[in-house]
Structures are given as structure tokens and as C-alpha cells.
Amino acid sequence: MLETFDYLNIFTEGSDDQELIVKKRSSVVNDDICRILLVEDEPLSQKYCKVLLESRGYSLNIAPDGEAALDIIAEDHFQAILMDIGLPGMCGIEVTQSIRSTDNPNRDVPIIAFTAHLAPSRLQACLKAGMTDFLVKPVSPTELCSMLDRLLVRVVSK
């Protein structure tokens, strides 16, 4: 797997001078673009992740709730899933349990808990449900991209 990195600027909304430098991922994994499913109901978080991940060369699909996520997962394959815990309807833990208990191509995909509130008991519930790791919002570009890069190396090397 060859990787090259370009740099680009992403300006935060509503800021005149603040800029984030983000590495752009321009490689492919096994001749496929790395596909990420973001399960997130908050539009601002959706937009942030879309700009950040697409700038790194990932393909991002967004599901606004658990039911939509399960519909998308039944039809498509992803290399990783970012799962908000506090979703309307089915919570992220329930969605993860459903993914892990079904026979579909996403059953063994890394699922990252993506939440603003992660108490120790909630972390244990996430891990017990089958989540691979967690990120606490607000997440920095470095944290998110480092975790995805680390987890996706595991997926590619399997």
C-alpha cells in the first residue's frame, strides 16, 4: 500500500483566522477508496466530519439515525463506522449490537463510539456491545484521523 500526503487548509466556520492543517489521504486500500459510515444526527458534526474525512480521501456516507444506518449497512460495505451513542430512536449501542449479531459484510468492521459524554459505565457498555474504540467530542482532526489510520491498517493487514 503506497501512501502520499498533501496538505490543505480547512477553515472553521465563523472564524476569520483560525485554520486547521490536515493531512490529505490520497492513497487507496486494496484498490478501493476507504469507505466510512458516519451515524450522527447532529448536522454540524456531520458537516465537520464530511469536510475533514473527504479532504483526506475517504468516502463518507452519513446516516442520521440508527434505522437509516441499518438500512445502509444491509446494502453497502464499509471499512469503518463512526457511531454516535445518543441517537434518536435506537441508540448507538443498540445499533452496534444489531450490526454485530447479523450476517453481513460489516459485521467485523471497526465501530468507533463517537460521543460527547462517555462515563466509565457507558464505555463498558460500548465495548460490550462490540465497539472497537471511542472518541469523545469535540474531536480534533488529528485524533480522528490517527484513530482511523490505526484501525484501517489492522483491517488491511487481516
Number of domains the chain contains: 1
Average pLDDT over every residue of 40-64: 93
Burial of 118 (0-12, 13-18, 19+ CB in 10 A): middle
Percent of the chain with pLDDT over 70: 77
**Is the per-residue pLDDT at 157 higher than 70?**
no
Domain assignment of residue 146, yes or no: yes
Indicate the length of the chain as a whole number.
158
**Is the per-residue pLDDT at 6 higher than 90?**
no
**Is the per-residue pLDDT at 153 higher than 90?**
no
- Show the domain range for 110: 32-157
Domain assignment of residue 52, yes or no: yes
Q: What CATH number is given to the structural domain containing 85?
A: 3.40.50.2300
pLDDT score for 119? 83
Distance from the Cα of residue 80 to its chain's centroid:
6
Percent of the chain with pLDDT over 90: 57
pLDDT score for 40? 97
Residue closest to 62 by CA, chosen among 93, 41, 34, 89: 41
